[in-house]
Chain A
């Protein structure tokens, strides 16, 4: 009898257990939230937008490889050692399966996926908080980022607009190919195709326009986010790439006149590279001690006792240091390495918090707007404006400066070379102006130009496979 009682109790407990089993089996991650619970306030939405900058702070993106791509693929930088951590990019030695190709593409589209998800989630911000100007600013950031990242994909994987008429990278309709547009979230079974180059750039410009209508903070997130000036500046850059020079000039002027960020003057320029976001920053991707590209960072590529992947050639050193009055000569310095040898190296990415791997990488700074304005003006035959912006910048870079009275396109390209040495500009500047050039890592037997075809990265083979061939390969890599 006693036993029966005991078992009745035990069985009751067992069944009580089983009735609450369904909820017992629901478990959520401890460091993540299900998509539908992420945005419940404007603050949440702010964090979701901020998370996109986190994805741009990455080994293959701004704070790593992409941040010095234009330098190593240009004519003034070479790799010293043979670690192959980044040098293959400088050798133009990438193919549809190399991890650089995949890494660049992956990280850029990952960030675009986050942008489009955030655009969907903006509806979850409570209606009253949507009235807050901060809400418009955040929406503006999303469109500005979508435009910027598409532009990064486009200049990496597709022809530049200045080569469109000659390109052999054409789709079945005879259009020069741009890139697949991440204009919204698609299902996993969607088979994307490459938009035409024209559609690609139309999309980029349109997103900047949308962004500019929403954005209301000049500088945001302490320079680590995209504000009005940065969005306009980036749009001006795209317009310059599109050779819509008058629009580029007008917009650059608007930024120069409207922005609260001044040009850093000659006496502060070199030191500014050790400060917060660098000189005249409008928008930078800011690494920190916790999140940085580690050994594949711009700092570890450019400083001695590192991978030594991005070092100025003797010619570049001579060029940058040719004028003693130019303060920018001191962004290339000579120091002793561990072995006691003298090493001459770029000193823009000096590191923060005593760590060479932590550096902000500027997406755009105010100086570029002066150079955009000057270049656009030269191309428009507007020598007044060209001289004005050319001299305005140089006055802040030279000691004892005397204004130039004449300026050519080559002068401006040289000025860009001085201003942006070691940054992500040089190869694009040469290519978009249809120059051909010798790349140190490639060797002097071959010139790189828009016609070489290998100036474009290959489309990752896994993307062609995943899209069942609907994404078309660039002709140089297709065989």
Chain B
């Protein structure tokens, strides 16, 4: 490498010597910003081939003819600079190419200049994406970077699905997730694979292959994607080679992870001992009627306290394993994770062909024992210009991911698995040592009534009692295009996309394991094949008339066919823990299914601008979908938009401090398809073998009238940049979605179906987004940038069928009610602990309180959608040092703490579940102002013994509703780049060493809670978010 460079250098020097005559010019070339000398910069006399290159110290010496007027300085990747020859010494500062080029962004079916774009969209480049290292999935890397976008992981386990919502919640029953488009082709995303565990198809994408991600937010930006665009669109563009020498890049990262918050801190041994004692004592008191208002002993606590204590002292023995001992089992279940990431890429090209080739290996060991994620991926992007009118290219990637772990608990209403990580943690007895004296696992470490394995046995994934779930995903993603310039103005492009994923999962319960015992060993294998083929054919026309009328129009069609195949089988009587293949067991179940969805679209758009001052755009798309009945399957989606660049007006000519000022607005429609493949159709199922033969039974009621959800989007915004340092964008949006896909209830009596899918109701999402970026210092060795964004949003249920509330979710905890927010919690309102009796109370309809939750009034007690959210980011550069930080925040939202329901059970699950440490704050004596009521053991059968009427203080109520308010140091990156001079000597163009921290600091309003929960506010029993520490090195040469 270095040899070649030197050789080239000498050669060029040699040729230039031959022309030595007349005038001698010298100078020094350095890089702007860093002031590092730039060797190898080419200096040519304009209009000739006469020139030289700078030496290793960035100096040059060139003899030019007397009549030479201009020198041209050029260097790969940097802006070419021309200088008039006015003196003998010409020093030049050269900057990155990108600065010079007008900002272009990728939009629907094409690119647009940022200044001319009339819609609402935000582009994030790979620099910003990579600041969050070790995210195995690109959606998670967007967190905090785009206003109006909420990102969440449902689960902290590696490889699990993330959730993205752009501008609120657009649907009740259909998708709320955006459409992903990669290199011009819609891509399959979401949760495929094993039904019992979330796995994210996006995690098959290697984030390092991504050049930019563009988030399309309003109708002007997204309507061209029609029936799939109502939740916004995320356009991913992968990397491309640049003309010039081949660039090699190598990156290596190692990291560790731990729980980001003090989640699931269980009672210590001593807290537990006290709690057990008090629980038994209160049981005794309850039996005497001390808490029963109709008992003569009511309130007569002191009289019975001695007997109660004696009873508790006797009964506690069975619960306390080793008095005085304390084990923190959380350290075993949720320990430290680790990660490693290696990326290698090469890119380059010449004037006809460019390429990018990348390979990556990513491995994450989760915090939870036995969970890991591995991805091996490769990508080749190739573009070739065959002649002056025809070019083509192909972007291809293959990846293979493997995810090991356990079932998760992401579905509501399924309870908490006794062998899930959290289920095991909850069942461990903190007074029991984890290991015996000889180092072996303590077999009696669980609570007396628990049925859980020792965490190292149940979660470890190996050994005689193993229970494992492995998901392997192979994905092939390819986009091939051909493009022809028919005339100078008219271009045709045809694109074929192939997106194939093959997901295999294998769940094995050894015959000796707790779950496997019931089946003498159990094996479940599931295979999912998803193939999506897309073809689009687009004609585009660009013309400028009279130098002032700029026209751009496109028209075309797109066809997509998606085939989803499922195969599954279940075995029992697996003979050994050592082998886990289907041939070994007795088959009990096998299934297969194929679903097909197709979409045919015609699309067009028209953009016009006058003199780069007045802009107008319109788009129209017609979609036909196989998911709807033939009379109802076609729909039209359109948008109109315009903008006015005030700064281009003559009257602004004097306001030189204004760089750009633009007002824009858009209005348009788009839609969301029903989630089911055949929801509209009335059909029989042909499965169900019984009595030795097939059984056919009604499968779906159908509804020919079914149509898509439609949203009407309004957006107005101002973009303002000034003093070359500041830019701000403020936007207001209003999205009205109607014809919501809703399950209409009907009496089961009518036809054996309790509901059917139809359209009704509406939601209004509205909000204001504000984004501000400032370059505070840019002087000498220093550069300091600060950015800030805030989104104020509302997602309000507007209309419901017959104006009636819809109560939904686990235990009916959510309500859709006109005028209330989406994801509103609807539960009895907790009135706190009665300071005299120590019992839990709720509000009744008349405002008084009751200890019987069945008498309490259900109220709207919170909502998952926050009022405010956003981020603050900053970047500081000093010489070769770089520091960047991203702080995210969210206020005004609530969650339902489902694990908390199990760990604040007030004695109901005594002997089974250990409470969390926060449950230690319970009522002890009259006058106490405690968070939790008295623990009472033995109240299993509805707790009627305690108060004489129904008493279940733990039941779903606003007691388990907690604020998600938080401020979080999401990302922190410190990097050091070796000086150019030093690098060049070693043959490198860049060497950077860096540290990246994820979720380093978190402030939460509530104690011991992970505040980032799934977007519906339901805190699952799954792994909370991790705090990560990563060290990395990046080499380019």
Contact = CB atoms under 8 A, between A and B. Distances in A.
Interface of A: 3-4, 6-7, 10, 14, 17-18, 21-22, 24-35, 38, 44, 46-48, 50-55, 57, 82, 91, 93, 97, 105-106, 109-114, 116-117, 180, 182, 185-192, 221-222, 224-225, 286, 288-291, 354-355, 462-463, 465-467, 471
A67 B746 CA distance: 27
Contact of B698 (A21, A113, A192): A113
Interface string B171-204: 0000000000000000000000000000000000
B748 A105 contact: yes
Nearest to B595: A30
Given A26-B630, A109-B747, 16 more contacts: A4-B486, A7-B486, A18-B557, A22-B630, A24-B559, A31-B593, A38-B684, A47-B696, A51-B694, A51-B696, A82-B940, A93-B942, A116-B751, A116-B752, A221-B691, A225-B691
Contact of A28 (B486, B678, B698): B678
Interface in B720-759: 744-754, 756
B924 interface: no
B817 to A, nearest CB: 15
Contacts of B677: 27, 29
A49 to B, nearest CB: 9
Contacts of A354: 520, 573
B688 A25 contact: no
B200 to A, nearest CB: 26
B585 to A, nearest CB: 12
B748 A53 contact: no
A221 B752 CA distance: 24
A93 B754 CA distance: 24
A52 B693 CA distance: 12
A132 B229 CA distance: 56
Contact of A186 (B594, B751, B940): B751
- For chain B, the bracket of interface size reads 35 or more
B749 A109 contact: yes
A286 B691 CA distance: 7
Interface stretch (B305-313, B596-604, B835-843): B596-604
Contact of A32 (B630, B686, B701): B686
B74 interface: no
A191 B492 contact: no
B690 A188 contact: no
Nearest to A153: B749
B537 interface: yes
27 contacts: A7-B484, A14-B557, A17-B559, A21-B600, A21-B624, A22-B630, A24-B559, A27-B598, A33-B683, A33-B696, A35-B682, A46-B693, A48-B696, A48-B697, A55-B697, A91-B941, A97-B812, A110-B748, A113-B748, A113-B753, A186-B750, A188-B744, A188-B746, A188-B753, A221-B692, A290-B588, A465-B745
A35 B573 CA distance: 39
A93 B684 CA distance: 36
Contacts of A28: 678, 681, 683
A35 B680 CA distance: 13
Contacts of A57: 690
Contacts of B557: 14, 17-18
A189 B747 CA distance: 9
Contact of A7 (B492, B678, B684, B751): B492
Contact of B594 (A22, A30, A46, A106): A30
Given A34-B682, A466-B745, A54 B690 contact: yes
Interface string B752-790: 111010000000000000000000000000000000000
A31 B689 CA distance: 13
Nearest to A182: B749
B537 A10 contact: yes
Contacts of B484: 3, 6-7
A187 B625 CA distance: 27
Nearest to A95: B854
B283 to A, nearest CB: 15
B685 interface: yes
Given A32-B685, A113-B698, A192-B750, A24 B690 contact: no
B700 interface: yes
B633 interface: yes
Interface string B687-721: 11111111111111100000000000000000000
A14 B747 CA distance: 48
The residue among B600, B690, B698 with the most chain A CB atoms within 10 A of its own CB is: B690
Contact of B690 (A3, A7, A29, A288): A288
B745 A462 contact: yes
Contacts of A463: 747-749
B750 A3 contact: no
B684 to A, nearest CB: 5
A24 B533 CA distance: 14
Contacts of B336: none
Contact of B633 (A10, A25, A31, A52): A25
Contacts of A465: 745
B685 A31 contact: yes
Given A26-B626, A27-B677, A52 B750 contact: no
B572 interface: yes
Given A21-B624, A465-B745, A466-B745, A53 B690 contact: yes
B625 to A, nearest CB: 7
Contact of B752 (A29, A35, A112, A180): A112
A31 B686 contact: yes
B633 A54 contact: no
Contact of A111 (B596, B688, B694, B752): B752
Contacts of A185: 750-751
Contacts of B689: 288, 290-291
Interface string B1008-1020: 0000000000000
Contacts of A30: 593-595
A91 B950 CA distance: 13
A48 B684 contact: yes
A104 to B, nearest CB: 11
B636 interface: no
B3 interface: no
Contacts of B597: 27
B589 interface: yes
A50 B691 contact: yes
B19 interface: no
Contacts of B648: none
A33 B696 CA distance: 9
Given A25-B626, A29-B595, A35 B754 contact: no
Given A26-B630, A53-B695, A462-B745, A35 B750 contact: no
A182 B941 CA distance: 37
Nearest to B944: A443
Given A48-B696, A51-B695, A111-B752, A33 B690 contact: no
Contacts of B685: 31-32, 51
Contacts of A34: 681-684
The residue among B484, B537, B630, B748 with the most chain A CB atoms within 10 A of its own CB is: B748
Contacts of B595: 29-30
B747 A286 contact: no
Interface string B617-650: 0000000111000100100000000000000000
Contacts of A471: 747, 749
Contacts of B602: 18
Contacts of B559: 17, 24
B800 to A, nearest CB: 13
Given A25-B625, A47-B693, A191-B747, A35 B486 contact: no
Nearest to A107: B748
A467 B749 CA distance: 10
Contacts of A113: 698, 748, 750-753
B854 to A, nearest CB: 9
A25 B696 contact: no
A25 B598 contact: yes
Which 8 pairs between the two chains have the least Cβ-Cβ distance?
Answer: A113-B752, A51-B697, A51-B695, A109-B748, A224-B691, A186-B750, A54-B695, A54-B688
